[in-house]
Amino acid sequence: GSLVCVGAHCRNSGREAGYPWAEDYNLSSYAGGVHGDGQQFLRALLEASTAEDPLILLALAPPTDIHDLLAESPGLAERMAIVAMSGSIYKGYNGEPGKIVEFNVAGFDGDAVTASRGMYGAKGYQRKLTAAPLDVCGTLKLTGPNYQRVLASAAAGNRVTKAMLSAYVDWARHGPYNLPTTQWNPLEESTVLFDAVAVGLLISEQWFKLTEGVVEVSPEGYTNMVPNVDELGLGAGVVREALAWRSGAEAEFAAWMTDVLTGDAPSGVPVDAKATMASA
């Protein structure tokens, strides 16, 4: 299994809704191993990487550890290639027009704004930071036949989908802060799968329309983009933002994701992730 690394402590005073499902699990018994200082482990991986063969980072939460490392050692930027689920450029949740303050940028009560400004504004990336903002990841759900295939897979004993749905339903039952439970019926469809879109962006860019520009994070946590420009002396590098799906691609991705979850996907992925990032 994969190594679990413990990152920086989040200042949220409460428990996340997924905690009750996992609270009786002894993390130290995890077969893949546990590293108690994830930030130092990440530093070691970066120091063993090069600008020509950087470490690919998939950022699905406020980038606290990335910021801390870059603040201490700015030169590590050239050794990392980041794909992030982050921000809101022109649209908010559920495809609603107008940007909002997105959690992975702002964190709880704005405590991640400094970290996000550090990630977006870092100098030295050899491969442009690539992001999936709410514009593209705020609408993806598994519905209809796709979701029914996932349910049927779990009912037939597929260990992956069975465990996933068990955790998923328990998470919703405990009232996550970002999901009013009245908005979701676990027998009909998934919730919005924000992070899955960033995973897809890492695997292949074939599904997305990307726009380059400078992104600045405001003190409130808004991600403000000036598209199709170079650095303009703003102290930030150029970011590649997936602002929309290609025609028909959201449905194609949902079907492919269903194949992966249920074990029906062919071996491998559409393209090699490193090859995709190398073109950035």
Do the strands 223-227 and 208-217 form a parallel or antiparallel pair, or are they unpaired? antiparallel
Give the bridge partners for 213, in sequence order: 227, 239
The CATH number covering residue 268 comes to: 3.90.245.10
pLDDT, tens only, 82-122:
999 999 999 999 999 999 999 999 998 899 999 999 999 89
Whole-prediction pTM: 0.88
pLDDT, tens only, 198-232:
999 999 999 999 999 989 999 999 999 987 665 55
Q: Which domain holds residue 123?
A: 4-278
How many distinct structural domains can be found in the chain?
1
Sign of CA dihedral 85, 131, 34, 159: positive
| pLDDT band with cut points at 50, 70 and 90 for residue 279 | very low
